[in-house]
Every structure is written in structure tokens, then in C-alpha cells.
Amino acid sequence: MRSNLGNLSRRLSTVTSRQTVRNGWTCQSCRVSQARRKLFSTTTALREAKGDAIDKPYYVTTPIFYVNASPHVGHLYSMLIADILKRWQVLKGRPAILSTGTDEHGMKVQQAAQAQDIQPKALCDTNSETFRDLAKKANIDYDFFIRTTDAEHKEAVEYFWGRLKESGYIYETTHEGWYCVSDETYYPETMIKKRVSPLTGKSFMASVETGNKVEWQSEQNYHFRLTAFKDRLLKLYADNPEFVVPKTRLAEVVNWVTNNLEDLSISRPRSRLEWGIPVPDDPEQVIYVWVDALINYITVAGYPMWPPGSEHTKGWPADVHVVGKDIVRFHSIYWPALLMALDLPLPKTVLSHGHWLMSKKKMSKSVGNVVNPFFAIDRWGVDTIRYFLIYHGSITEDSDYSNEFIVINYKKGLQHSIGNLLNRITQPKQWSVRDAVVEICGKPSDELPDLVISQKQMIEELVSKVEKHMDALNPTLALKAIIDVAFASNVFMSNAKPWDVKNESETTALNQIVFHTSEALRVVGILLQPFIPEKSKRLLDVLGVSPDRRTFEFAKLHADNDYGTSFVPIVKGAQGSLFPPLPVED
Ligand code: MSP
């Protein structure tokens, strides 16, 4: 066995050095870290050869955010969906990693720095920190915060470029077309229209998709032979209908690849764009910001320190790239094609979400209609905003943001359903949740009134409903299913009227009602953890659910006979409740 491992180790070293020769190009910093990489590769391969199980963690990503401006609620939404997907996996007991970060190169950032008369790096340092602060404030449970100005990322991009060049899919040509700085992309002629500025009355050319201004540009640059991947891309979508979720977006992608695919300009002349990663062997060209940015997802997963077959040890391929609908094309066409060119594994799914609108227009810095998420969280509370964005937002549709909607959602979905139910079940002296759990838990009865039977069924069905929606990557439907149970449990309590049970001979009947209400709350509390982590913790504390009994396997009837005595003092009155009145309502 020892000699086998020795052979493998020797073979791996040979493969690594042979690969370097074959690729013919290794960047300076990659050469420096080669020894480190070889050590990592060899150790991983040896562990695999010995049969050590190396589980791939579930890997979720957010887009990396442009640092030309401060974050708004739309950015928070991408982060939040990714956070919930990660927390859901953790709840189910699977190791999961979430990566987020900032996209710092490109024209957009260069121009923003020029406008403020500061160095681009200084602008990036300040604004990147604001995105990190937002992630912390919103309770985003991220594991990596990558910046595209990080040295490791630069190494990865340079290495990737070298391999791409080696692959033969890059060529130099003169490019002419409509470039949009705001969207950092060229648009084909068919995607351009004339617009008139409502402010100045002047006309300008703009993207049909985003309405943002485009400019005609003619320049010498490198192109990626994207058209060579047309058939493979179409096959990818046909074989993996879940590669883009939802289906409507997949249809758009298929349509684009079928009808609009063109080779991709992947560098800009340095005379136009200085702020970026220079093309390794051509300092007069700078790598296109989207190529640079997309590579972040593999930088985080350790690229290029991967021996073939071991990509998964640090998460790659990603299980889900969460993106807004405006950037689906980059993730589901350009990104897989670039990976295909290098024979690297492809991400499993690109989950696209709808946009947040203000006054019927996409919330965006350029329109000037953005909501500052820091203020929103300070005003309404972190879980109120998390709840609102997921419940009222949508994967498939755009959604309207307004303070009025936040108040309505809070009152209806949180105060009147869960908060009310918790008060109703834990506050009366007439019964005790603990006594009900002791008497009923673990002793299912065949003789239950119809009312209790339906309540029981509803709790039993909840987990599979939520699981189905989360598997389909639709946290909104999952949250709605959970809240529906809280609503229905209030109705159950009103109909079952435990407060009317006065006779001691009916204690078991009383405890059945109390037990089946508190079970609903306990299961709801467990399942709500990925969505509103602070409030669900408080809910489970009030119910006295032990912290080691809050995982997925406990989210079913009769799974916990230990709870019922609150860990925290129960304070009566509105202010003491789980969802107290909101501070100020518009
Ligand atoms: N830097 C690129 C992403 C590169 S990923 C390799 C980018 N950045 S962004 O800051 O403009 O957008 C980041 C995310 O915020 C995207 O998912 C985008 O869809 C999302 N949102 C920006 N405005 C939005 C709304 N109004 N509503 C919902 N999300 C939107 O694109």
C-alpha cells in the first residue's frame, strides 16, 4: 500500500509539472505558490487514495457587488436568498459554504473614482467594507468575502487566462459595437434603441433590456470564441433543465444562445480602461471585468490549486449561483462556456430572482430610487426586513417595495399569526405546555376529534411541503407554507376553544389541543430558522426547545418530548411579545 501511495504521489508531481509545460504559461505569482499548490494537491490525492471520504460542501454564491456605489435593498435580496439556501442545508445537517464579495475592477468603478477624484483602490476599500458591513448587519452567514483586488484572485484570473490562451479559444481582432458602462457589456445592434432623457430632453442610444446609455466603440482587443460552444451550451440546457431556475429564464437563455450568440470581447485597451487585471503577456490590454468577476467563484474554491478530480474538496462545482435576472446571461452562457473551454466542472444551477421596484421602476443607483438597507434594518429590525423581502419578493416576478407593505406583512404574517399564537399558547394559566407535552408526546392516539386530526395532518405535511419548495430553490413558497400553518393553527385554537375546557375529566382533551398547537409552533420555529434566525431563536427559547433539538430531524410531530418550559421570562403585554408593535408606521 505504501508503495502505491508513493507512486501516486510521484505521478501527481509529474502531472503537475507536465501540465505546466503543456500549458506553456504560468504567471509569476502562480510560480511562486506552485510548491504550496503541489503540497495541497498531493495531500488531497493521498487522502482520496486512502479512501478518506472528502464530502463536497454545498456551495452557494451571491453575485459579487460593484463597488461604484453603496449597497441597496436589491443587493441585499441576492445576499439574503443565498443565505437562506445555505442555512437550509445546515439545518438539514449538510456542511455548506456561502461566498459573497465585491467586484472592484472595470470602467464603472474607474469612472466613479474619477468623479470623486480619488484612487480606484481607495474607493474600493471604502465601499467593499460597506458591503461587508451590510452582510453582517443582515445576519448573512457568509464563509468567504472575496474582493477581486485580492492577490489570490488576481493569480487565479491570470492562470485562467493563460489556460484559455493555451486552449486556442482566444483571438485578437478589432471590435466595434455598443458598449454600456453601467452594465459593463457590449450589446448587439438588435438590443439597442434611441431614448430621450426625461430630464434634459436630449436623445441618446440605450440598451433595450436595461435602458442604460450605450456608446459606440471601436477598439483592438481579445475575443473568446463563444460561438464554438453553441451546441454544447444548448445540450447543457437540454440535459439539465434545472441549470437555470426558473424555467422562464432558461427559455430566454436558450433563445439567446440560439439566436444572438456572438464571440465575446474579453479585454479592453489599457488606454480606455486602466483599472483592471492586465492581460498577462500583453500589458496594453486589460481583462474584461466580467471574465475577471466570474472567476471569483472558483478562486474562493481554491482554483487553481486543483489536481484533476479534486475540485470538489473546497466546494466546486457550485451548487447554486444566486443572481438577479439582469445578470443571468453572464452566468448561464459566458461562465459555463469559459469553464468548458478549460474542461472544468460546471456549476449545477443558476438561480435567478426578480427585481425590487420603487414606483414601478427597478431600484437602481442610476435611476436614483434606491432604498438604503442599513436604514431599513435600523428602522424595522433585521428579521422584519428579512421576512418582508422573502415573503413579498419573488423568484419569478418583480416586486414593489414600500414601507406600507412592510407594515402590512409584519402585522399579518408575524404579529397576528406567529406572535399571537405564541401568546395564546404560552400565557394562559389554565394549562401548561409542559404538562401537555408530558402527557401526549410519544403517545399518538387513534381517538382524536376531527379538528385535532386535521391539525395533526397539517403539521405532518408541512415539512415535505417546505422541503419541496426549498429543493426547487423557492424560499418564498417555502416561507408561505410555514406561515400558512401558523395562520391555520390560530384558527384551530379558536375552533377548539381550549379556554372553554373547565372540567378536570377533560384534561386529556385539553392537552391534545394544547399539544397540537404547540407542536405546530415548535415545527414552525425550527423551519423558520433559515429565514428569521433571531426571532425563531426567541420563539424556540420561549417554547423551551433545547438548542440541540432544533435541527431538521426534530421538525416533525412527537419528535421532542423535552420542551415546554420556557428558557426566558414570559413578559405579558404587547411590548413583551415576540413581535411587538412597530416603532413608527408610515
Ligand atoms: N458585479 C456584477 C455581478 C458579478 S457576479 C460575478 C453585478 N453587480 S451589481 O452590484 O450590479 O448587482 C449585484 C446583484 O444585485 C445582482 O444579482 C443584481 O441582480 C442585484 N440587484 C441589483 N438591483 C436589483 C434590484 N432592484 N432588485 C433585485 N436585485 C437587484 O451585477
DSSP-based three-state secondary structure for 261: coil
Cβ 77 under 6 angstroms from ligand 1: yes
- Write the CA distances from 142 to 97, 156, 471, integer angstroms: 7, 21, 21
Cβ 363 under 6 angstroms from ligand 1: yes
pLDDT one digit per residue (tens) for the chain, 586 residues: 233 323 323 322 333 332 333 333 344 344 334 433 333 333 344 344 333 345 799 999 999 999 999 999 999 999 999 999 999 999 999 999 999 999 999 999 999 999 999 999 999 999 999 999 999 999 999 999 999 999 999 999 999 999 999 999 999 999 888 999 888 898 988 888 999 887 788 889 999 988 899 999 888 999 999 999 999 999 999 999 999 999 999 999 999 999 999 999 999 999 999 999 999 999 999 999 999 999 999 999 999 988 777 778 789 999 999 999 999 999 999 999 999 999 999 999 999 999 999 988 899 877 788 999 999 999 999 999 999 999 999 999 999 999 999 999 999 999 999 999 999 999 999 999 999 999 999 998 888 999 999 999 999 999 999 999 999 999 999 999 999 999 999 999 999 999 998 887 899 999 999 999 999 999 999 999 999 999 999 999 999 999 999 999 999 999 999 999 999 988 888 888 999 998 765 4
The closest residue, in CA terms, to atom 23 on ligand 1 is 74
Residue 468 Cα to ligand 1 midpoint, Å, equals 27
Nearest-angstrom CA–CA distance, 26 and 41: 17
Burial of 211 (0-12, 13-18, 19+ CB in 10 A): middle
Residue 154 Cα to ligand 1 midpoint, Å, equals 22
Cβ 362 under 6 angstroms from ligand 1: yes
SS (H, E, C) 196-232: ECCCCCCEEEEECCCCCECEEEEEEEEEECHHHHHHH
Cis peptide preceding 533, ω within 30 of 0 = no
Q: Which atom belonging to ligand 1 lies closest to the Cα atom of 357?
A: 26
What class has domain 2-169+230-239+289-375?
A: alpha beta
Strands of 185-187's sheet in order across: 185-187, 170-180, 215-224, 264-265
Contacts of 20 (CB under 8 A, 6+ apart): 26, 34
What class has domain 402-576?
A: mainly alpha
Residue 65 Cα to ligand 1 midpoint, Å, equals 6
The domains of the chain are located at 2-169+230-239+289-375, 402-576
